[in-house]
Copies of this chain bind each other. A is one copy, B any other.
Amino acid sequence: MLSKTCEYALRAMIYIAQHSKGGNMVNLKAIAESISSPQLFVGKILQGLSKQGYLQSSKGRYGGFYISDKEAKHSLADIISAIDGDKMFKGCGLGLPSCSEHNPCPIHNQYKKARELLYQTYSQTTLEQFKTLEPDQVLLLKRTI
């Protein structure tokens, strides 16, 4: 389904959203620990997303990452598309590049519905929703096993 890179990205972005209040910068070490992921690798991923405009970053002491209200309008689907492309949301269930409405593969119609539900799931969830959570509602993103 999602690449590991993409899973880290989603978890990191959710964590940052949850902790982006009043311009507070979220630091990479805290992010990586909180989502059980390799720090330098997540750093790279966030660098990329930051260049693409999905979040702010600031260097130097007390620097870190931040998701503004505007950036928080992005959905999880936006982030997935930015990293893994849209194969998940538009690809064929048998991996045929030529599959389409006009030239459907054997499972096209059924698969399409599942794919669309997946897209709905990820696109209905925006970073905003995490930003406005109260502290006691903040969700666990860490591996606990």
A residues contacting B by CB (< 8 A) are 1-2, 4, 7-8, 10-11, 14, 76, 87-88, 91, 93-98, 103, 105-107, 110-111, 113-114, 117-118, 120-122, 124-125, 130, 139-145
The answer to whether A107 touches B87, judged by C-beta atoms less than 8 angstroms apart, is no
Beta-carbon contact of A106 and B139 below 8 Å = yes
Known: A1-B87, A1-B88, A88-B1. A107 touches B95 (CB 8 A): no
A107 vs B76: C-alpha distance when bound (angstroms)? 10
Cα distance A142–B106 when bound, in Å?
12
Copies of this protein in the complex: 2
Cα of A124 to Cα of B2 in the assembled complex, Å: 23
Contact B117 A121 (CB under 8 A): no
B1 pairs with A106, CB closer than 8 A: no
- A113-B117, A114-B117, A121-B114 known; A143-B97 Cβ under 8 A: yes
Contact of A106 among B7, B110, B113, B125 (CB under 8 A): B125
With A7-B94, A97-B143, A141-B94 as known contacts, state yes or no: A14 contacts B110, CB within 8 Å: no
